[in-house]
Structures are given as structure tokens and as C-alpha cells.
Structure 1
Amino acid sequence: MRSSRRLPALLTALAFAAAAVAPAPASAQQNVYQQMLEAQRAQQTQLNSEQAGGQQMLNSPTPGLMTNSGAMQQVPSLLAPDTVVNRAGSATEAEAGATAQGPLAEPFRNPGPSRTVFGAALFARGAPTPSDSGNPNYRLSPGDRVSVRVWGPVETEAIGALDNQGNLFLPSIGPLRLAGVRAGDLQQTVEAEVRRIYTQQVQVYAVLLAAGRLGVYVTGYVRLPGRHQGSASDTPLDFLLRAGGVDPARGSYRDITVNRGGRVVNRIDLYPFLLRGSLPNISLQDGDTIVVGKQGATISADGAVRNNYLFEVDGRSMQGQELIDLSGPLPAATNAVVRGTRNSQPWSRYATLAELRRLPLLDQDVVTFITDSPAPTVRVFVEGSRIGPSVLVADRDANLCQLLDYIEVNPALADTRSVYVLRKRLAAQQLRSINEALDRLERQLFTASSATTGVAEIRTQEAQLVSSYIQRGRRIQPEGRLVAVDDQGRCARIRLEDGDTIVIPERSDTVLVGGEVLNPGGVVWREGMTIRQYLDAAGGVTQRGDADAVMIRRASGQVILDPREGPRPGDELIALPQLGAKSFQITRDLLQLVYQTALTGYYVGRL
């Protein structure tokens, strides 16, 4: 460690804050099938009763099943099985799944997760009215209402509809030819016509008030097919909205045609509009027909992507490059798992993103983007007596000694001889070791034999005490402490893992005396003070205590079971209880477990 505040390019300091979210308790599951059966029987009983009384009832449908669908995760689990028959969400195909047997006439619907079709949100809003749907590409035609006002050297105004020749008469100026002019170019066109007559400065304001009314047929795979009224300035999107939008389960967002007089005059692919905002310049006429074609092949993208959707294929297959462009994988994505069907057989492929770009994808393929390469860096947290950042990012092969050189501390406050590391993986190993020791102790406790009735009674009482201790022991949560320095303050060259926490304790002037003493607590450290003097300062040992059986736990977590010298500042001195010869056979295992529980740290020997 050093006092310099400069960090090299090897490390990057980050500010870090985290909030812990407690998981919600899972609700009890119910037997849905049994509930539906009971509802069916109750309905049938009521129907029979009313028919017996001479009453006639209309047949009511079988009670349905209401489910609460949970929110989808941003990053779904790898290779999660598909539970939806039709990934496009088709109601007809989803109902063709597993059907409940017995008296239920309604098929059982699997409430599994479904994927949203790309572009479905386009028709989520309500249909526009003709007055609020301006189309700058609309070309004026006879009957459209226009307002023109001119002021300056000459003042004149005209509000009216274009005549049959497509003209609007403006007093003091004459007829203006406006038929065929784009609505977005109306202002510029009127200015040019006026200034041909009045060369001085004149101000012009021209606006399309209302386009002519027309009716357009919308059919195909839409929610509300039929004839819909609108304005001549409306776009095909406006009429699709009036028809309820494209049916996301059956309709196509890439195969939409405009028919006029029995022939196709325009083809519309909504993907360029969804991605870049571009639509073909189409002016609809009265009697036109908009036809939404059948949904084409669909390919799903999920996992580490920005756009988690079902994408429609413009054809029968799609190259992986196109799916990558549409889905937008995250920078962390390195590989992809492709699942689908080939030759009527389940098929899967694991590929890098470079291989996926050249891979042909077919209908109903599911591509899951994942991160499958180790991160080149590790993130390490710093706690305790430090100056500077609380998070450091280093190369994966960086060790503790290298990192400590870049942590700034105050030598007067930091106890650099007691540095330790908290590691989650080590905490899990410690917890497993404690539970295994508790299991062994429990087995030995309940399988021990007794020679006499008196011994059996004593063992029963002892078993109750030990059983209570075992229950408390199972609630222990080890912290995964890894002792990283020796008594001389030399650091171990431990390779750091991602998520490790380096703890630098602060210096202390006290020694905590605990265990079997009369007055446990802190005692001021004095140089040359012996272990016996510290025990006497805490009131001496209890009747169960043994002044010769003590252990010292350093601030770093290091444990000294048979100390030859007194504790250091910040150490903890623990007086252990006496264990006489009358203790039962499992005393040794109990002591071993006490040590494992109290010493939930791991010391790196021979540093």
C-alpha cells in the first residue's frame, strides 16, 4: 500500500452502490384442474335443477381458466424450453395443444411465456379521426378545403374548396392552380404564384383545412375488416388503425398491398418504417382496397439483445446477419444458441456471432444470444480504512499484492498487518463444511448406546443441549474470510476473483476479552501485558473456564489456538470452557465444530 493518489492505467476506479431486493414469497399452488371440474359440476347441477322446474335457460359457456401471467425477464435463461406451440401467439394454434380429458369441453391453455411480434405496438393506439391525421405527401384534389391569406401591399383572403378544375380563386390575384400540389408544398406554391404578380414584399399563409372524404376497404389479416371512412390525406397506416391493425398472430407486417381497379398499385413493407421511419408515398383514392397478407416465417431473438421480438422473414429464410441487424445484440453477447426444426426433426446449433452471420435461419427458429467468454477483468471492492475509490477493476491475473500497491491508506489509521479478503465462493465452502460437521454430530448424538439407565438419562439431557446447539449452528452464515497477511505483515500473492472484497481494518488500542470470563469486554492494550493479566482485567475466568485454554483471533481472522505471547492491539482473546473426563464420547466432535463455527476464516499458511 502507498500514500500516492495516482492510479496507473492498469486499474480503473469506479463508484459503486447496490441495493438488495428481498425475494417475494411464492404463493401456494392450487389444483386448477380440480377447481374447473368442481365449477363444471356446480353449473351442471344448477342447469338440471332449473330444467326440472320448467324453466328454460340459455346454454352458458364452460367457465374459463383465469391466470396471472408474470413479467418476462430482460435476459431469459439459457435454453429455456418453449411452452408455446405457436411462437407468434396464434390463438387457434395455441388451443390445439394439450386438451384436458373428462367433462371439460374447453381445451386447457398453457399460460407459458409468449413473445411479442416486432411491430405489434404500432397499432396499440386508437384509430385517428380524419381531422387529426395530416399527410404532407397528400396531393390536393378537387373538393379539398384550403385557406389562403395574403397581406402587405395587398390584403386578400380566400377560404373554400378547390373547384372541379382544381383551382382556388383568390381576390385581387385570380385563380390558383393547386390540384396535384403536395400538402407539404402548399405554402411554398402559393407564395410563388402570388409573387409572380406582386414583386414587393408580401406575406402569405396557406393551409389545407380538410381533404375530401373517401372510403377505403381494408381486408386480409386485420382485426376489423371492412369499408372504413377517412380523409383523402390519410395514409394507409391510418386506415389500418381503423381496421384494428394487423393481427399479430396471423397477419404480415411485410406483405401489405394497395389494390385499385383489380390490380396492385403499391406494396408496403412496414419494417423500413419501424426501423428508419420511411414509408412509400401513397395517395389513396375512393374505393381502394388495402390487403394484409398472411404472416410469413418468423424467427425469435432473445437473451442478450436489445430487441427481444419475433421477427418476420421477407421470404422463407433469413440470414443470421439480418437477424443481428434487427435484434441488436448487446456488446457482451459473444455466442448464440439456435433451436428449430430441420427435416421434421429437432435441431440445434451453437455458434459464434461470426458463424451466425452466415447461418440460414428458417421458420420458428429461436436464437438465444449469450455471453460465453470470461471477462478480461475482475471487479474488486475495497472496504475499511482507505482513501480513494471503493471499487477497482484489474486484469484477471492480478494478485492481491499488486492491487494493494494502488490502494491509498493513512498509515496512522490503517492496520495493514491485518488485511483480509472476503470471498463468496469460500463462504459457500465454509457453510457446506459446517453443515457436514453438524450432520456427523447429529448422527453420533442419536446413535450412541448407553450401558445403564443412569447413563442413558445423562445422555438424553446432553442430547437435548447439543441438539439445541446444532439448530443454532445451522443458522450460521460464514463470511468467507481469507487471511491474506502473516504476523510480519507480508502479503500473500493470492489471485483475486471477481467480486472479492479487500478489507483493511482500522488500528485499535484495545483487546476484546470474551468467552468464559466474568466480565467480557474491551481491555486497553499495553505492551508487555500477559494473557493472564488480560483475563484478570476481565474479572478472571468463570468456574467453567480454564485459564490455560485460550485462543487468540487476530483482526485479520487468523486464529492462534495455543498462544505463546500476549495479544496484539485489535485482537480478541477467548477463554475456552473446561471439558472434564465425564463428558460423553462426542465431546471431541463438538469441540471441532465449535472451532469450525467460530473460525469461519481460512488462513493461508506459509506465506
Structure 2
Amino acid sequence: MQESTGKLLPVYGAELFAQTQTYAPVSNIAPPANYVLGPGDEVQLQVWGAIDLAAKLVVDSKGQITIPKVGAVTVAGISVGKLEPTLKAHVNKVFTNIELSASVARLRSIQVYVVGQAQRPGTYTLSSLSTLVNALFASGGPSANGSMRAIQLKRGGQLVATIDLYDFIAKGDKLNDPSLQPGDVIVIPPAGARVAITGAYDQAAIYEIKPDRNSVGDLLALGGGVPTLASPQKALLERIDPSAKSAPRQVQEIALSQTGLQQLLRDGDVLTLLPISPAFGNAVTLQGSVAQPLRHAWTSGMKVADLIPEPEALISRDYYQRKNAFVQLQEEAEDANSDGKAGDALSGQVKAVRNTKEKLKLKEESNRAEGAAILDSFSEGKRQINWDYAVIERLNKDTLSTQLIPFNLGKAVLQRDAEHNLPLQPGDVVSIFNQTDLRLPTDRQSRLVRIEGEVAAPGVYQAKPGETLRQLIKRVGGLTPQAYVFGTEFTRESVRKQQQKNLDQVIAKLEASMSSQSSAQLANLGADRAAQAATLLEAQKQSQQQQLARLKTMRSNGRVALELSPTQNNLMALPDIPVEDGDRIVMPSTPGFVAAFGAVNNENVFVYKPGRTVDDVLRIAGVTEDGELDQAFVLRADGTVVARKDRSGWFSGSFDSLALMPGDTVVVPQKVDRETKWTFITRVVKDWTQILANLGLGIAAINTL
């Protein structure tokens, strides 16, 4: 069968016997009234009146029980329903004026034999209430080669019954399930003729057929009849023809009609039910950025505007779900103080004040987070419908090729232009796109720019086609008098992605360098210093790994250094660069400090004074002995970096005389010949300019690394 179907089909009904003795009866249940007593049964007897007696009496091998003061009474062969009258009649022969109650306390066990093609043939001890099916469960049922349709029960060498398990498996019919008696033999013969049913059929399996029940309809009835999802017009019947020596396998087609269901099956047949076609005869599919991506019923003369009658049909459900998420009601937690002791009154008031402050703080943070989320949600505007392009996908049934028929969605739906309001055919698939699916020309792209700080109207604005940074700020009202143009923070998403890529490459370089460096240092040491150096290198390696871990947590900020003039503090100082979607501009107010960091005695901020130079700040902060003045640099408020080595020429002016601006930071790195908390990284990266600009880490990198 596997060679014919390509599948390992199960034997029908085999899974029923996967769990041993699932349906085996127990021996301590009340038997039915027609149960016949025999040796081994235990009778519970109670007598009251002239005498009082309570006893459990076991039926002996002679079929008798012995009642005290009465004698032996034969009960074998008596049904449970006649037990009490029989015992009462015998007790009344000795005592008068008595009442009696008798029941079966425990059932006897019987021994039966399961032989033939069983999973576990052998001798089984079962309850006297057991039937043939119970014995089959105990033995694991028929084996893969055993029959399920001709199981025999033999008693005293005579055939008592033959059962068909398919009646029990498919219909739950146990009318022909005989009760067992001691010494019964259950014979499972080899399986008879078998056929396989596969394809669009839930009960795909290997079936055993009987001479009088071997039609296609008989077998399909075991699984509920002809499936709805199977094609009634055609099924394939593979049959072995022994007379055809060269190609004994033959295929014939049958219909699952009344005539086809009467088709008789033979040993080795394989019946394959074919599924119905998944095609819809009168459906048009609408997909993409729409409210209901579904199959819609096609009607004669149907056009695009009939499929999309209103623009609201193009608003996706997740749009409203995202917006609704910001207005969900949140229940306020109520203060409760169940402790009414006078001594705790003051403590309770203090706790209440503290709790109130904490709640107000959490509420403030929550409001800020909600505000940020709402602003971020404006970016969903980029998912606007692409009104200029939509497409109909159509299958040419003559050539079986797919055709793409583009049309202008806006003209078809909004203007009902006959040229674009195309007629539809059954099976068409109409795809609607948004502005993120296909890149549009610049003048049609939705560009959202976020402006914050010292501008007339901070907010999120949709930039006009070709609009520049300077033009956008002017359009929203310009700068406030407190604006500090030199400290403008301009971040761009495309720059952030490139900076993050650079950062990932540096991290990979650092990991490779750390591994090779440790191996080289150990190899260059002599044997007398190897042990001591190994300990030092291990501690150094752990420190480097911690630095790497911190570096991996950092994320590039995407800041673009605008290279602004420090002396010009107006809108014209900003570069006239076009803005892009996702740009963020923060216009700070003028800070009143400059800072010093690194190998200085006083890492602090200092009051800004006009004319204060790098030399002035270094003199105030004090450079430590391990400070590397030749590598000193200034991180300017506009994001640029000015290094000492860049101002060593005759005409550029000295680095020490560089006039600082508010917000500038002077950094003195430590010497790289000592392993400090950040020299490992600078030794590989070589230049802080790369860390601060190319990697987009900013001043946070200095504090963290």
C-alpha cells in the first residue's frame, strides 16, 4: 500500500487499542440481575430476626456456600435476581421469623486465552463480567496482520460466536459482543482482503473487506459517507490485474454517484478521493490596505467602484485599533488604610503623603510616555493609500498566464473615471497598496518631521515637497529669543541606521581583537612570567568583556553634525538642507556652562564666560599625570569634534586658544599604554571622532565607556 499511495497509512481501528485495558471492567462493581453465580463469587449475607448473622461467603468449587447453623446451599447457576429468595427459603427451613438480604460482594475471576494474530497473545485473567471486546483490549487488539472482521470465540472446542469489530468501532454496536466464561479461547485469524482509501477523506486508512460488504459505499460509510470536500464527479481506483504480466497495476475512473458507490472492491485496491477545486465560481478578491480583505460576490457588470463603493472601505481595521489604544480608560487605585490604631495615625499620614507623591510621579511619567506614543503614532500617516496605483490580477484561462492590469485608484473610486473604473471578472484579485509598499516620487511622499524646543510652535509637521530645514522652521513660526542655534540637535533615521551598522562592525572587530591580543601576549612571555601574566590577562579579559557588554547595549542616536557657525545665532545659520521623513530637530535654549571630562582632576561643568578657551578650562579642571594631552579634543554643542591634531597648523590657530561655546565639552583621554576603563576600545577604534560621529554615540559614550 505504501508503494502505491506514497504514504504510510494506518490500519483502520488500530488506534483504538493503543492504550491497554482502557475499557477493562473491575471486579468490585454490582453485577446485573441476570448475572449467573459461579465458583469464586463472594456473597454478602445479612440475617436478622430470630437470629442475627452477617457474613461474606465464597462460592466453592462445588458451587455451594455454607451458611452457619443452616448448612450448605447450592447457588451456582442461580442469577443474582433470584439469590435472595433462594437463600431465604433455605434459612426458613431452620429458623422462622427472619429477614434476609443478600448481594454479590466480589465477582469471580475467569481465565481466557487469546491466540492467533494478537498484539500480545497469551492467557488473561479477567472479571467474570468481561466480554470478548474486553479481552481484546487486554491483549492489545489484533496485530498489523490480524483480522478485525472475523474474530472467533471458541468454548469447549466449539465455535460460539464470530464478531466484526467494525460494527463496534464505527457504530458503537456491542449487541454481538458475547460474555466470556472460564476457559474460553479467542482466535484472531489473519486479515482478509484489504483495500486503501486515501486523498480527500478524513478516515484515510487501510480497510479490511468482507465478501458481503465490499462496495465503495460500504467502506465510505465507516467514515461518514462521501466527504463534502471530495469531488463527486471523479475518483481514482487503482487495481491489480494478475493477468497483465508486464503492467499488472491498472487505473480506472469512477464517479461517487449511486452507481459508483456500488462498485465492488478487491484485495489490493487503492481508492483515491480527489478534492474539489479551491476556485470560487463567482468571487472577486479584495486584498491589501483595505478595511475588509475578503472575497466578495461577483455580479454581472461589476466594476472597481462597485467593489470599493466608498473611500471608507480602504481604512484598515488596525488604524482604529491603534487610535483606540490611546484612549482606554485606566482605573485609579484608591488609597486604603485598614489600620485604625491611634499610635499609627501619624505613620499612616506619612505613608499616605509618600504614596501620593509616588503616584503623582508615576502619573507624570505615564503621561509623558503616552504623549511620546501619540507623537510616534503620527508616523502611521505614512501608511496612506496609494491613490495613483492599484492592480487587478487576472488569470487568462486560454493561456493560463497571469495578467496584471494597473489602474488609478483615485480616478476609479473618487472620480468614477470610466477609463480606470475597470470591469471585473470572476476570479479577479484587486490589490490596494499604501505609500510604504511602493516608493513614491519625492513630491508625493508623506514626510513627517518632529520639531521641539525653542521654536514658536513645537510639534510634528508634514513637510512640503522640497522643503528645507530652514524653511520648515520659518513656516512654523521661527525661533524664540532663547533659541541656541549652535546647539541644534538634528537627527535622521537613515543616518542612525548607518551609524548602528558601523557600531555593530566595531563590536565585531573588538571581539576579534580581544581574542587574538590575549593569545599573542601569552605567546611572547617567558615561562617564568607566564603564570603571573595569565592571571593578569584573565582579569584584563573580564574587564574588556564588561566594556563590550556595555557597548552592545548602546544604540546610535543618528545625530548629524550641522557644522554651524558659533557666532551666528539666527535662523540663517542653519544649513538649507531638505528634510526627510522621520527627521527630529531639537532647538535648545542657551546653556550656561562648559564641561571637562576624562583624565582631569575635576570632572565637572563650569560656568560659561565669553572668551574662555580650552586652556582656561584645562587649567581650572587640572590634567592628571596619565592624561594624553596630544589626544585631547572638544565635543562641540553642534555635534562636531575638534581635536588637537586638527589645529596644529600655522594658520588654524592653536588648540589651547580655541574659544569655547556654551555646551562644549573638553575631553582629555588617558594614555593608551595603561588599561583603563576605556583605552581598550579607543586602542582598537583609534579615534574618538569615530566613536562620537561615525558611531553616533555622543557624550553618553564617554560616560559609559
Short-chain TM bin: 0.3 to 0.5
Q: TM-score, normalized by length of structure 1?
A: 0.48
Q: Highest CA radius of gyration, 1 or 2?
A: 2
For normalisation by structure 2, the TM-score amounts to 0.42
